[in-house]
Structure formats: structure tokens, C-alpha cells
Amino acid sequence: MRLISKKILAASVATAAILGMNGMASAQEVIKFAHVVAPNTPKGKGAEFFKKRAEELLGDKVKIEIYPNSQLFDDSKVLAAILRGDVQFGAPSLAKFGKWTKKLQVYDLPFLFKDMDAVSCFQNGEKGQELLGAMSDKGLTGVGYWHNGLKQLSANKPLNNPADAEGLKFRIQSSDVIAAQFEAVDAVPQKMAFSETYSALQTGVVDGQENTWSNIYSKKFFEVQDYITESNHGLLDYMVVTSTKWWDGLDPEIRDGLPQAMNEASDYANSLSAELTAEQRQAVIDSGETEVLQLSGDDFSAWQNAVKPVWAEFSDDIGQDIIDAAAACN
């Protein structure tokens, strides 16, 4: 009987150990963060920083997996994937949220922000913070803004004034505001995934595109565009977003630690953005592959005046109070 008791005891201990191990394994939250850009961009580096800090703060309670370069989903599919639970975080361009809320279209308005300080002013202010919750009724919660920068125009012909864009096909993000911007100068907007842009430029499917210095450099668009006009005409920033249900349902300790990691990652990514923008702009110039054009004062005003009616076109959807708050930061 004693031998049987020892066997039973040993089996019980082993079972308890296995259950304990399984409990530990199930307690670890595996968190997938999917994005579309290269790891050497501000967003790519920000995501890696978030992984590092979350795992430092929470130890074995979390495992963060980063999937760059559209390895899992592109921006057009990542929000639905978040709601399904296939990934927990995405960081789509702010231009990607049009089907979820019209209010975020404010960030697509051309020539709204004169520089990135104005962008930060608005995003950190009352209206900008309110917009993080603009999709909560759809099950999505914004947890931070990450900068990329202001956009430049590129094509295989010089774009000095609005008339130069007439008839050209431009790859754009899936934004009705950006489409209206190009239509205002009689260009032809082509909504297309970011991952398809290089080949579309290379093969002539589109004639040009708009993007930040970071994306132009990291995706080598400058190799297949003869001219880049330094227009600074629009914003390309990101919102880090997650499932409201998942976020609210996290273990309290994890729920307390992740915001700290995210806030630190946001500060890191945004401080890095200005530094990388300057470096990568110069790298594009130094490559000799493309010519960077500067707009004269008159040409800059001509571009502003040509696309300014887009503001009024979308003011009812966005909210004039939101547009006014953004413009007041200049």
C-alpha cells in the first residue's frame, strides 16, 4: 500500500507540475504587432522598442512578436484582423481609417499643418486626444500617434506648379480626401497598397506618388522617380490601434504595463522621426538617382490655393471644430 501511495503521490506531483507549467504557459500573453514598413523606419524602430520595453516591464507575462513589411497584413486588412484577434496591434496610416470614422480625415487635408510641431500640438491637445477614441463604437481603440512626417511629391517629370500634375497617375492611399486633392489639380489618383508602389512606379502603372522622406528612402522610390518636389503638402502619421474588447479584458498587471511601454515607444519613435527624416532626405539627395526640386514662394502658394477647396468639401464629415483646432496649431 505504501508503494502504491508513493506512486500515486509521484503521479499527483507530476500532474500538478504539468498543470502548473500549462498554467504558466497559458498566462503568457502572446501579442502580435503587424505593420507595413521596413524595420529601419521610425515606425519599425518604434515597434521594436515597444517589444523591448513591454518584455522588460512585464517579463514572462508577455511575448511580443513584430511583423514588418506587410508580412501578415497590409494596412487595408489589419483593422479587420485586429477585430478577429489575429493580431493585437497595428499602426496604419491615419489615411486608412476613413471607413471606420470620418473624423480622422482631418489628417489627410492638404497643407493643414505647416510643420511637425503643429502636428504634435494638435495630437497632444484636446481634440487630437479625443480622436484616439473615435472608433471605440466600432471596437477599435487608439493608443498612440506615431510620426512619419510630411509628404513630398514625386514623378518622372518636374512638378513645380499644379498644372504640371495634370493627367498624371499618382499612387495614393485609400483616402477620399487624398483622392480629392489630386483631382483638384486634374491628376488621376490610383488607390494602391503601399507594398505594390515600387513595382507600379517601375513599370509605369502609375507616374508618381506622394510620401515622406523616410518611406521614399527605405522603399527606394527615388530609384524609379526622376524628380521629387519638396512640397511638404500633407501628413503621413500613424495611429497605433488595438481591439477595445481585448484591451479592456487584459489581466490588470498587463493592462497597467502595456500603456507605459507604448507611451515610451511613442516618445522614442517620434523623437527618432525628425532625425531620420533629415538623414534620409540627405541620403536621397546624395544618391544622385533623382533631382530634388524646391518650390518658389509663388509656386507653393499656387499648390495651396489649388487644393484648399478640399477643406470645405470634407468639413461636414470631419467637423469644422476639429479642422479649426488643427489649423490653430500653426
Q: Is 10 part of any domain?
A: no
Q: In what order do the strands lie in the sheet with 89-90?
A: 62-67, 29-34, 89-90, 235-243, 140-150
Burial (CB count within 10 angstroms: exposed 0-12, middle 13-18, buried 19+), residue 62: buried
Angle at CA of residue 105, ends 104 and 109, nearest 5°: 130
In a domain, 254, yes or no: yes
d(CA 269, CA 144): 11
Question: HSE of 46 in the Cβ direction (CA atoms, 13 Å)?
Answer: 32
Q: Which three cell numbers stand for residue 321?
A: 471644430
**Tens-place pLDDT, residues 258-314:** 999 999 999 999 999 988 899 999 999 999 999 999 999 999 999 999 999 999 999
**Is the CB of residue 67 less than 8 Å from the CB of residue 77?**
no
Q: How far apart are CA 219 and CA 170, in angstroms?
A: 16
11 phi and psi angles, rounded to 5 deg: -65, -40
Q: Tell me, what's the pLDDT at 223?
A: 97
User: What is the reported pLDDT for 150?
Assistant: 97
Residue 144 lies in a domain: yes
Show the DSSP H helices in the chain as ranges: 2-27, 42-58, 75-84, 116-124, 126-131, 176-183, 197-203, 213-218, 244-248, 252-287, 297-307, 309-318, 320-327
Torsion of CA 25, 29, 35, 37, to 10 degrees: -60
Residue 286 lies in a domain: yes
Phi, psi (rounded to 5 degrees) for 114: -80, -25
- Give the three cell numbers for residue 61: 507575462
In angstroms, rounded to a whole number, what is the distance separating the alpha carbons of residues 201 and 211?
A: 13
Domain that holds residue 263: 18-327
Taking each helix axis from N to C terminus, what angle separates 252-287 and 116-124, rounded to the nearest 10 degrees? 170
Q: What is the pLDDT along the chain (330 residues), one digit of tens a residue?
A: 444 444 433 444 444 444 444 444 457 999 999 998 889 888 999 999 999 999 999 999 999 999 999 999 988 899 999 999 999 999 999 988 988 999 999 999 999 999 999 999 999 999 999 999 999 999 999 999 999 999 999 999 999 999 999 999 999 998 999 999 999 999 999 999 888 999 999 999 999 999 999 899 989 999 999 999 999 999 999 999 999 999 999 999 999 899 999 999 999 999 999 888 999 999 999 999 999 999 999 999 999 999 999 999 999 999 999 999 999 999
Domain containing residue 303: CATH number: 3.40.190.170
Domain count, the chain: 1
Residue at 313 is within a domain: yes
Specify the residue for cell string 546624395. 286
Note the pLDDT of residue 20.
47
Give the pLDDT score at 25: 46
Asked whether residue 260 is assigned to any structural domain, the reply reads yes
Q: Check residue 113 and give its pLDDT.
A: 98
102 falls within a domain? yes
1: in domain: no
